[in-house]
Amino acid sequence: MGRFGRVLTAMVTPFTDEGALDIDGAARLAQWLTDHGNEGLVVAGTTGESPTLTHAEQADLVAAVADAVDVPVVAGAGSNDTRAAIDLTERCTAAGADGILHVAGYYNRPSQAGLDSHFRHCAEATDLPTLIYDIPGRTGRKVATETLARLAHEVPNIVGLKDAAGSPAETARLLEMAPDGFEVYSGDDSLTLPLLSIGAVGIIGVATHWAGRQMAAMFDAFESGRVAEAAAINRSLFDSYDFETGDDAPNPVPTKCMMRVLGLPAGPCRLPMGPEPVGLEDRAREVLTALGAG
């Protein structure tokens, strides 16, 4: 098991109908998630709409969730502005986070040298264990395997990777190069089982909002050597993987819809995410029914 648990959810950030931060709703959602298969939470990450949150809102959100649950809380503190990421790191550390998650700088597509320097400066701003989030489909720049391995060896509190780069073979090469104790968490729900096969320790998921127990069962089966059972559970989650994002309803729009269907705090997404397409709630109910949860 990874230091933050096996099954973590990149939690959506509840807002009121008017778009204000719903702190009480966030605490209630966090408690529900930990009651339904989650062993840790990532708060104020990009699924939590961090680009639309103020730094004060992010710190308040982290503090509220950390106070509400007894599982590790990893705070998203990423930015494509290193000074902003350092400020967020310091605020989230003070707010009671157990770890920090830093996404690679998005849009500006920094060089590998720039990424290396960015992550070093951010890690120096805290004594908390830090994960790097590599998601080139969103950021426009892959964090090179050599860059990740160098940081893992040279920066003591860079302890792992949230991997959404889509290449389990390259991740296997990273694990061969990285020091003992460096941990990989799947950042792509549909690739979690392949990543487990090459040494990943957990998932920071999206479908785990409503399928945390199923994901935990998949981990249990795989870890016990029941690979066929793990594969069958993974197949049962295909509809959930398909539902969680798409061109007409990108993540986290579908997840917020699913939370409302389940009677949980969510509210709308802040623009520019949205609006929610017609029929999405019906699709959410179909996904739940297929899981035996609707």
Q: Which residues, in sequence order, are CB contacts of 224 under 8 Å at separation 6+?
A: none
The conformation of residue 21, written as its DSSP 8-state character, comes to B
Checking DSSP bridges between strand 73-76 and strand 183-186, what pairing results, if any? unpaired
CA 133, 137, 142, 145 torsion-angle sign: positive
* Half-sphere exposure in the Cβ direction for 103 (13 Å, CA): 33
Q: Would you say 21 and 29 are in contact if contact means Cβ atoms under 8 Å apart?
A: no
Q: Concatenated DSSP letters for 228-281? A: HHHHHHHHHTHHHHHHT--SSS-TTHHHHHHHHHTT-S--PPPTTS-PPPTTHH
Q: Which of 162, 185, 241, 256 is catalytic?
A: 162
> Active site includes 241?
no
Neighbours of 44 (CB within 10 A): 32
**Residue 142 falls in the annotated catalytic set:** no
Q: List the catalytic residue out of 133, 185, 241, 256.
A: 133
Tokens of 139: 């950021």
Residue 41 and residue 101: Cα distance in Å, rounded? 11
CA-based end-to-end distance of the chain:
30
Q: What positions carry a catalytic annotation? A: 133, 162
